[in-house]
Amino acid sequence: MHVFQTKKEVINWVNSRKKEDKTIGFVPTMGALHSGHKSLMKLAQSHCDEIIVSIFVNPTQFGPNEDFNRYPRTLEADCMLAKEAGVHAVFAPSAEEIYGHSHSKITFSINGLNTHLCGKTRSGHFEGVLLVVNKLLNVVQPHNAFFGKKDIQQCIILQSMVKTLDIPVELVLAETVREQDGLALSSRNRYLSSSDREKAPLIYKTLKASKSSILNRLSVSKVITNAINLLKEKDFLIDYIELVNESDLEPVSEIIVGKSYILACAVYLGTTRLIDNILFKA
């Protein structure tokens, strides 16, 4: 497995693979890899001949009071996991390699899709995501790029970017990978204390129960209020719990048969922010 640190190395490798008519699959990550990432790499193998994974903690998607400096950086272990998963190349650049000495010469504007859910409290986050993913796609120029639905708002915004900018890549979205107790896999799970880890599965359990109540035509606002109160009683700090349309991520107060929805949340246990969601059709 190759480990590249420069864009030029990646471009040369990709060009050599494409000359042999190989299809390129790309899995962008911020490292601290786990089984969820590994499942993306395995999925990429089922679609493409050659797999490249990026490992880059992107500074432009972190706010001033977020955990950029604390975010785990485990490159050696990440490369071992990628190699075990059958990855052919890892791109592990520095911030200077990606951005030079300026992060803000060109920025993205998002209209509407970042108004709710994580976009409401993480100002500038998705603009930073679009910037770095656009740059990475331009370097790697893959046939397919693979993302997990745990970050569902990110996935929908990236789909819109690819369509709007006519980027020649197919995005493949994978189902959320969970622990046996239902907790969605996340690099931030390692921050949880043992007592908080015991509480964390309640997030998904609450979302599932709330979805069932909504499908049984209980009041959406009442269901969400009950979910918030339940989690608060267990020492969760609530960022949001929202029901939104899958199409435009706008909040809804009642469901319509045949339409698709996302019930999503972001909560804190201690100082650890965790997100999860359920997609469903009414």
What confidence tens digit (pLDDT) does each residue in 92-143 have?
Answer: 999 999 999 766 677 889 999 999 999 999 999 999 999 999 999 999 999 9
Percent of the chain with pLDDT over 90: 95
Helices and strands per DSSP (H, E), number in the chain: 10, 9
Give the pLDDT mean for 258-280. Answer: 97
Phi-psi category of residue 182: left, alpha or beta, with phi > 0 → left and psi -120 to 50 → alpha? left
How confident is residue 177, by pLDDT bands cut at 50, 70 and 90? very high
Counting residues of the chain whose pLDDT is more than 70, the rounded percentage is 99
At 107 the pLDDT is 83
Instruction: Name the amino acid, one letter, at 251.
Output: P
Contacts of 102 (CB under 8 A, 6+ apart): none
What are 220's two structure tokens?
């959406």
Based on the residue annotation, tell me whether 143 is a catalytic residue of this protein.
no
Average pLDDT over residues 141-146: 98
How far CA 122 is from CA of 45, 57, 77, 127, in Å, comes to 33, 17, 29, 10
Mean pLDDT of 160-167: 97
The DSSP element (H or E) to which 15 belongs, if any, is helix 7-19
pLDDT, tens only, 193-208: 999 999 999 999 999 9
Q: Kindly report the average pLDDT of the chain as a whole number.
A: 96
Per DSSP (E only), the strands in the chain are: 2-4, 24-29, 50-55, 89-91, 144-148, 170-174, 237-245, 260-269, 272-281
Euclidean distance between CA atoms 182 and 169, whole angstroms = 32
pLDDT of residue 65: 83
Between helices 35-47 and 75-84, what is the axis angle to 10°? 40
**Nearest one of 60, 57, 161, 64 to 104, comparing CA atoms:** 60
Model pLDDT, residue 64: 87
pLDDT digits (tens, 9 = 90+) for 150-159: 999 999 999 9
How many CB atoms are closer than 10 A to CB 135? 18
Catalytic residue among 37, 88, 125, 143: 37
Residue 87, pLDDT score: 98
Residue among 160, 97, 174 nearest 127 (CA) = 160
Distance between CA atoms of residues 135 and 103, nearest Å: 12
The predicted model scores a pTM of: 0.96
C-alpha closest to that of 45 among 20, 24, 17 = 24
* Residue 252, pLDDT above cutoff 70: yes
For residue 104, the model assigns a pLDDT of 65
Interval 34-65: pLDDT, tens = 999 999 999 999 999 999 999 999 999 998 88
If you ran DSSP here, which 8-state letter would residue 191 be given?
G
Residue the block writes with tokens 């899709």: 113
Mean pLDDT of all residues in 73-95: 97
Contact (CB, 8 A) for 155 and 147: yes
Q: Which two tokens stand for residue 213?
A: 């109540």
Give me the domains of the chain, ranges plus CATH numbers: 2-174 (3.40.50.620), 187-274 (3.30.1300.10)
**Choice between 103 and 23, residue whose per-residue pLDDT is larger:** 23
Find the mean pLDDT for residues 80-102: 94
